[in-house]
Each structure stands twice: as structure tokens, then as C-alpha cells.
Amino acid sequence: MQSETEMMLHGYGLTTAEMFYHMPDYPHVLNTFVWQDYDRAPDHDRLLEFIGFWQDKLDGPLHSVRFVHRKLISPGEWRNVIGEFHYH
């Protein structure tokens, strides 16, 4: 299992999705659910996997999904520092 930093260095970013779904007992009422995970754009495999799980296993049918993907760091923004110099 990779750490969050390692995942971000390999192109993963934080994906946040807001799912609007119909309540099973009250189909005219919409409710929301917020989901977050590290995922890779543009495929968003983990998000699509979760949406598939929702459709297969949960009773509340999805109305709509909106999401945002944010790459927190990229390999060019991070560097490994081996030493440190102090100048007085």
C-alpha cells in the first residue's frame, strides 16, 4: 500500500464527488452523499467503481453525480532534500 504522498507523486489527485440520489421510501425526495478518494484523471477508475457499486448494491437510485479532481502536488513541485546548509 502506497502512502498518500507516493500516490500523489505517481499522478493521483484527490477526487471529491457529490452524489444526488432518490430516497428509497420517498422517491420524490433527493438526498446527497459526499465521497472522497485518491484517483487518477482522466479515467477516474475508483470513482466509476464506486458508482457501479452504488448502482448494483444500494437501493437509492442515483439522480446525478458532480465531482472535482485536484492534483495536490506533481513530481516537478517536489524534491528530495538530502542535506541542509546553514549560512550565518
Give the burial string for 39-70 (b: 16+ CB within 10 Å, else e).
Answer: bbeeebebbeebbeebeeeeebeeeebeeebe
For residue 60, being part of any structural domain is answered with no
For residue 61, being part of any structural domain is answered with no
CA distance 86 to 75: 26
CA distance 32 to 19: 5
pLDDT digits (tens, 9 = 90+) for 35-87: 999 999 889 999 999 999 999 999 999 999 999 998 876 556 556 666 666 66
Read off the pTM.
0.77
For residue 3, being part of any structural domain is answered with yes
For residue 56, being part of any structural domain is answered with no
* Mean pLDDT, residues 5-29 taken together: 91
For residue 55, being part of any structural domain is answered with no
Query: Band of the pLDDT at 9, cuts 50, 70, 90?
Result: confident
Range of 31's domain? 1-39
For residue 13, being part of any structural domain is answered with yes
The predicted pLDDT at position 4 comes to 84
The number of folded domains in the chain is 1
For residue 6, being part of any structural domain is answered with yes
Residue closest to 12 by CA, chosen among 66, 70, 67, 65: 70
